[in-house]
Structure 1
């Protein structure tokens, strides 16, 4: 049961990390608010690139968790990345 909870925790951490990273990427590239910047980048067809840049902190988290032998949480972060890829395909 612990492994399922760890994977869900990793999924939550991965999605939250990507959201925070995307927020900072939008702030850096658009100088607008999050919603307005998201709209501008989506109209320009660059939202996938912004989400990819926002997901870079997940890569760092993944390797830190592997180093600390938290494999199931790291799997959850990978699951979050797969979900982000699917979401990005539809945006």
Structure 2
């Protein structure tokens, strides 16, 4: 049970990282990833970029639900909630 939740959390982190990379690449106008992240932080939309990256977590969640791997889906959901709280706190400061 704990192993499946941890696997789901890792899948959620990897999916979010890939989504963030894809969003930065698509919205970055050909700039380097680190430059896009720095510009997003300076202009105040880094939280939105991270949230956009979390869309891939939705796909991973539904794949785990369809395969009846509920504990892995729970791990993905935990990471998604953590990312939501992180972006909310990040926007406050």
- Provide runs of 4+ in structure 1 moved above 2 Å: none
Contact 2:47 2:90 in 1 (8 A): no
- Give the TM-score normalised by the residue count of structure 2: 0.88
Q: Which whole-Å CA distance do the structure 2 matches of 1:34 and 1:86 have between them?
A: 24
Q: Which residue number corresponds to residue 19 of structure 1?
A: 17
Count of residues in Structure 1 that have an aligned counterpart in Structure 2: 89
After TM superposition, give the deviation of residue 64 of structure 1 in Å.
Answer: 1.1
Distance 1:15 1:65 in 2: 15
Q: Does 1:73 align with 2:72?
A: yes
Which sections of structure 2, spanning at least 5 residues, go unmatched?
Answer: none
Q: Aligned to 2:37, what secondary structure does the other structure show? A: helix
Q: Between 72-81 and 33-42, report the one with greater CA deviation.
A: 33-42
Report the equivalent of 2:49.
50
Q: C-alpha root-mean-square deviation of aligned residues, in Å?
A: 1.2
Q: Does 2:82 match 1:83?
A: yes
